[in-house]
Amino acid sequence: MAPNSPNNSTLTISPLVTNHRAQDYFQTPPPVEGRRIQSSHRIFSSPNAKQSKKRLNGDETRISQQVVPPELSFADDPESSQAVPDNLEEIPLTQADKLRLWRHDALLQHHYETAIYIGDKVLSMTNDPNDAFWLAQVYYSKGDYQIACSLLSGPQFEDSVSCRYLSGLCLVKLERYDEALDIVGEVNPFKKEHTVKNPDGGIKLEASMCYLRGVIYARQNNFERAKDCFKEAILVDVKCFEAFNQLITNSMLTPDEEWDLLSHLNFDDADNNAELVRLLYTTRLSKYKNVHKFEDAELKLKDEYNLEGNLDLLLARTDLLYAQCRFQDCLDMCRQIMDQNEWNLQIMPNYLSCLYETGGKNELFLSAHKLAENYPNNYITWLAIGIYYFAIGRTNDARLFFSKASILNPSFGPAWIGFAHTFAVEGEHEQAISAYATASRLFPGSHLPNLFLGMQYLQMNNLILAQEYLTSSLLICPTDPLLLNELGVLYYNRGQLAKAENVLQKALVASKSLDSSAKCCCSIHCNLGHVYRRLKRYKLAIEHFEDVLRMSKIDANVYSSLGLIYLKLGKISIAIEMLHSALSIQSNDPIATDLLNKALEANMKVRNHRFIERANSNETPINKPRKNVRFIGQDKKKDLDLVVEDLRRGEDSSEEGDDVMEMESD
C-alpha cells in the first residue's frame, strides 16, 4: 500500500518502525518447542528482553534483525511447525536514518531544540514529506503552530495526507477555521476506501481527517455537520476514540442513535483487541437504556481483562448513578476516583453537580478554588465557580461564569444548562427558554434541556408546549422522578386528576428505588396530597401531607392544605390549629389568612348554635322553637343547623382554595 494512503497511520513513516512488517511488532509469535526465537525483531518488546547483537563495520552501524519470511510467518499460521531460519538479515542504517532516530528520540524526550536542529538538517538533505511532517510535529509539540503550518505549506508536501492533517491541526490551533477546512476538505475525499483495512495497526489518517473536520465544524458552531463527521470518523476506523468520545461526552446522539452506532462499528480493525474495545465502548454509551448491557460489559472487563478499579470504568459507573438520580452514591464514587487521581477533569461535571444537589457548598468552594489555582483557563474551572455562586444565591455572578465556560467550550452541556438556570430562578422565562432551547438542540442525548423547557412553559401556563417538551424528555429518560413529578403537575393543571395520580405514583416509586433526595420526595408527596384533595379522598391526602411534614416541618403550603381539608371535614378546631401553624411560618400567606378567617367565622357560628341549643333545652315544649326554623343572625340567610351541615359537606368552606392552592414544582 502506498506510503501516503489515507488507510495508513503515521506508524508507517515513523523511523522506529519503518521497513518492519506490522505483525513483527504488534503480535507475539507462539512458542514452538525446540526452537528459540530472538525477541530483537519486536520493536515494542520488553526492555528486559535480550537485545540483538550490534557490531561495528567500519564507520557504519548495522542492527541485526530477525526477519520471518511470509511463508513462515506465525501471524499467518499460528499452528505452523516449520522451522524458523537461524540466519539474521543485517539492515544497514544510512546517515539520514541515524539522524532521524536522533531527532525522534529528542522529540520523545522533549528536547525540542535538539529535535528541531537535527530535523532541519534531515529535511534539507532529503526534502522528504515524511521528514517535513516530523519536523512540523516538533514545532507543534513546542507550541509553534505558525512555524509548523508554514513549513507544511510547500507545494512538495501537498500530496502527503499526514502533512495535510497536521497542517489543518495547526490552523485549528491558530483559530483559522476556514483555512483549515480548505486543507482537510469540506467532505471526506476518501469515502471509496472505507472498507480497506489498516495494515499497520495504527489509526487511519482518513479517520483522523474526518475527526479534525468535525472539530472545525464544532468550532464554527455547525454542530450537525460536526456530528456527521465524528460518526464518519469512528465508522472509518473504530480506533479513532477521539471522535467517539466527542459524540458520547457531548450527548450529540440520542440514546437510540448511540446504540445503533455501536452496532455498525467494525471492531475487526482492532484485531485481537476487538472484544475488549467493544466492551469498553459499551460502557461509555447512554445509561438511560440497556443498563443490563452496561453491567454485563463492566463485569466482563473486570473479570476477564483485569480492569477492576480502572478509572474509566469507575467514571462510567458514576454516569449511571447520576442518570438514576442517586446523587449521594454518585458523589461517593466521584470521591473514590479523586482519591486515585485528584485532577481527573472528566469526573468534575458529575462531582460538582452532585455537590450542588446534596448541598455541599463548602466542598464546592474548595474545589472551585483548587481548579482556579491549577487550571485557570479551563472551562471546567469556570463551571465550578459558576455552580458555587449559583448555590449561594449570587445568580448574576454565576451567570457570568457559566457564560465564560460555554464560550470556551460551546459543546459543553452543563455550562449551557447552568446559564439557563440563572434566568429561570429569576423568573426570566423568555431568556431561560432561549438558553434551554440551545442546549436541547446541541445535546439531543440528554433529557434535561427538554425537561427544563417543559417546566418553564408550565410556569407560563402554556400547557400544550409544556406537554410536548415533557413528553420528549420522557422518551429519553422514563425513570427520572423530577420529570414524572412535572408531568403530574401538568395533568393536575389540566384537570386530568386520574392521570396525575398515576404519574405521581410512578414518580414516588422511582424516587424510592433511586434513593432520591428528600426535597424531590417531599414535592411528590405534596402533589399527591393535592390530587387526592381534589378527588375528595381526604384520608389519603392527609397521609401524604403528613409524610411531607415528617420530612420537612416548615412547609406553610402543607399546613394550609391540611387546614383546608379539615375545614371541609368540619373539624374546625384542627383546621384552625393547622392554619395558625402555616401563618407562624409565613405570616403574610394570603391563602392561609383567608382560610383562617373563614375557619374562625365558622367556629363562631358553631359556638352560637350550641349556646342557643343549650338555652332552648331549658324552655317548655310549648315555647321551644321548632326544628329548622330559620335563625336570624349575622348571615340572616341560613339556619345554623344548615351552616354546620354545609361545613361538613365543604360547601361553605373555601372552594376557591382549590384554584389557588399551588402544586409544587422543583
pLDDT tens profile 328-380: 899 999 999 998 888 889 999 999 999 998 889 999 999 999 999 999 999 99
Separation between Cα atoms, residue 91 and residue 19, nearest integer Å: 10
Q: Is the pLDDT of residue 473 over 80?
A: yes
Are 103 and 134 contacting, i.e. CB atoms less than 8 angstroms apart?
yes
Strands ordered across the beta sheet of 60-65: 54-57, 60-65, 89-92
Q: How confident is the model at residue 592 (pLDDT cuts 50, 70, 90)?
A: confident
Q: Which class for 48: exposed (0-12), middle (13-18), buried (19 or more C-beta within 10 A)?
A: exposed
State the DSSP code for 367.
Answer: H
Q: How confident is the model at residue 539 (pLDDT cuts 50, 70, 90)?
A: very high
State the DSSP code for 111.
Answer: -
Q: What is the pLDDT of residues 25-35, one digit of tens each?
A: 343 344 444 44
Q: Which amino acid is at 451?
A: L
Q: What mean pLDDT do residues 96-107 have?
A: 93
**What is the dihedral sign for C-alpha 205, 206, 209, 215?**
negative
Q: Which fold has domain 98-324?
A: 1.25.40
Question: Residue 195 has what pLDDT?
Answer: 62
Q: Is the pLDDT of residue 581 over 70?
A: yes
Separation between Cα atoms, residue 121 and residue 105, nearest integer Å: 15
Q: Is the pLDDT of residue 325 over 80?
A: yes
Question: Residue 60 has what pLDDT?
Answer: 40
State the DSSP code for 412.
Answer: -
Q: Which amino acid is at 597?
A: N
Question: Residue 381 has what pLDDT?
Answer: 96
Separation between Cα atoms, residue 479 and residue 491, nearest integer Å: 18
Separation between Cα atoms, residue 191 and residue 207, nearest integer Å: 10
Q: Is the pLDDT of residue 102 over 90?
A: yes
Phi/psi at 159 (nearest 5 deg)? -85, -5
β 89-92/60-65 pair status = antiparallel
Round the average pLDDT of the chain to a whole number and report it.
81
Phi/psi at 446 (nearest 5 deg)? -105, 140
Separation between Cα atoms, residue 298 and residue 165, nearest integer Å: 35
More confident of the two residues 202 and 514 = 202
SS3 track for 481-501: HHHHHHHHHHHHHCCCHHHHH
Q: Which amino acid is at 559?
A: Y
Separation between Cα atoms, residue 14 and residue 202, nearest integer Å: 11
From the CB of residue 366, how many other CB atoms can be counted at a distance below 10 Å?
13
Q: Map grid coordinates 438556570 to a residue.
A: 421
Highest mean pLDDT: which of 189-193, 248-252, 615-619, 654-658?
248-252
Smallest Cα–Cα separation from 88: which of 49, 51, 59?
Answer: 51
Which are the contacts of 498, defined by CB distance < 8 A and separation ≥ 6? none
Q: Is the pLDDT of residue 515 over 90?
A: no
Q: What mean pLDDT do residues 649-665 have?
A: 48
What 3-state class would DSSP assign to 153?
coil
Are 5 and 161 contacting, i.e. CB atoms less than 8 angstroms apart?
yes
Question: Residue 172 has what pLDDT?
Answer: 95
From the CB of residue 163, how many other CB atoms can be counted at a distance below 10 Å?
23
Q: What is the pLDDT of residues 187-197, one digit of tens each?
A: 888 876 556 67
Q: Is the pLDDT of residue 535 over 50?
A: yes
